[in-house]
Amino acid sequence: MNISNFYYTQSIYSNNYSPCPSFGAHGKPIDLKYIIKTREKYLPERIANSVKEVLAKDSKNMPSLLELHKETYAPLLNCKTLDEAKQLFPEFQTIDTTYQFQNNCKTFRSLNGKSVNEFALDMLKKLWAEVRNKDDIAKDMGLKSRTTLNWILNNINFVAYTNIYKILLKSSDKEMNAEIASKSSAWNLLHSDIIRERNKFASKKHKTPEYRKAQSERLKAYDIEHPERKEKIGAHSRKMWANAPEVKKAIAEYTQSCPDYVRVVLFKKMSGKKLTEAQRKIYQGYLKGFWNKYPELKKVLSEACAKAKETK
């Protein structure tokens, strides 16, 4: 039995290798190349153009999306009037300051004596130039939450970036992305029951033929765009198995003890041919049976995999 081919399928099964780039996973910030390639449609036009200009220079020390955003909209901080800001950045032309807030109402008082024009300019500086959090701004204004702030902004047709773009900004920054990752981990720990049910639902959905077909097509498309993936898997496999000879031996022994029909399925899987539903269940049973018989080898394989990742 070819151990390298076995590992190809086993690594996918064990989640030891992720074929597609993860979005902000494990607190690792995403870079401009990934953003422009996979998330361009979520970027403001001015920022998308700036990103392309930076990438065209092929600089080794590229800024993060957050740094590029702040640099792009920094001129707002020097603007004295809203008209000046609109002239510099035409994308804000649709802001309408003709809305009349009722005198002495709480919302009107929250403007702290500013005219609507002054308020709009202040929000452009805080939200676009400084990328401040709406919750903090609302607190500074004496509002209970960002909901009231959003109500005011909506009434003046304020131009805001989308939540997805906001996440991209945070995910491009090392500290902010680490904060997102830590908050997500903390929430998951506190709501383990919800996570468990969500995983069960996802697992059932992933077992449908429609989902598996779509996933297979996505992987094939990704392989065409990134032929280096197979090379990376192969190199990782060789390094890992060199660190886990006892697991190789156990796999060989376990496979020899399996019935002929199981080995037929294994070789069909390794050759890249599509398995029938019945054969897929046999293959899953083979993997489950192996790990049930050698549970202590899970740690050995995991350590070998980690060591292979560290070795360049």
Q: What ranges do the domains of the chain cover?
A: 3-22+193-310, 32-172
Concatenated DSSP letters of the chain: --HHHHHHHHHHHTT---SS--SSGGGPPP-HHHHHHHSGGGS-HHHHHHHHHHHHTT-SSPPPHHHHHHHHHGGGGG-SSHHHHHHH-GGGTT------PPTTSHHHHHTTT--HHHHHHHHIIIIIIS---HHHHHHHTT-SSHHHHHHHHHHTT-----HHHHHHHHHHSHHHHHHHHHHHHHHHHHTHHHHHHHHHHHHHHHTSHHHHHHHHHHHHHHHHH-THHHHHHHHHHHHHHHT-HHHHHHHHHHHHHS-HHHHHHHHHHHTTPPPPHHHHHHHHHHHHHHHHH-TTHHHHHHHHHHHHHH--
Residue-wise pLDDT tens digits, 187-231: 677 777 887 888 777 777 667 777 778 877 888 887 777 777 778
Q: How confident is the model at residue 312, as a pLDDT?
A: 60
**How does the average pLDDT of the chain come out, rounded?**
81
Q: How confident is the model at residue 105, as a pLDDT?
A: 61
Q: How confident is the model at residue 23, as a pLDDT?
A: 42
Residue-wise pLDDT tens digits, 80-111: 999 999 999 999 999 998 887 766 566 666 67
Q: Are 160 and 31 in contact (CB under 8 A)?
A: no
Section 125-141 average pLDDT: 92
Over 70: is that where the pLDDT of 251 sits? yes
Q: CA neighbours within 13 Å on the CB side: how many for 307?
A: 13
Residue-wise pLDDT tens digits, 261-288: 999 998 888 887 888 888 888 998 999 9
| Percent of the chain's residues with pLDDT above 70 | 82
Q: How confident is the model at residue 14, as a pLDDT?
A: 39
Answer whether 0.75 is exceeded by the pTM: no
Over 70: is that where the pLDDT of 42 sits? yes
- 229 vs 179, more confident: 229
Over 50: is that where the pLDDT of 154 sits? yes
Q: Are 237 and 8 in contact (CB under 8 A)?
A: yes
| Percent of the chain's residues with pLDDT above 90 | 29
Measured N-to-C along each axis, helices 297-310 and 228-242 cross at an angle, to the nearest 10 degrees, of 120
Handedness of CA 108, 112, 118, 123 (dihedral sign): negative
CA distance linking residue 267 with residue 255, whole number of Å: 11
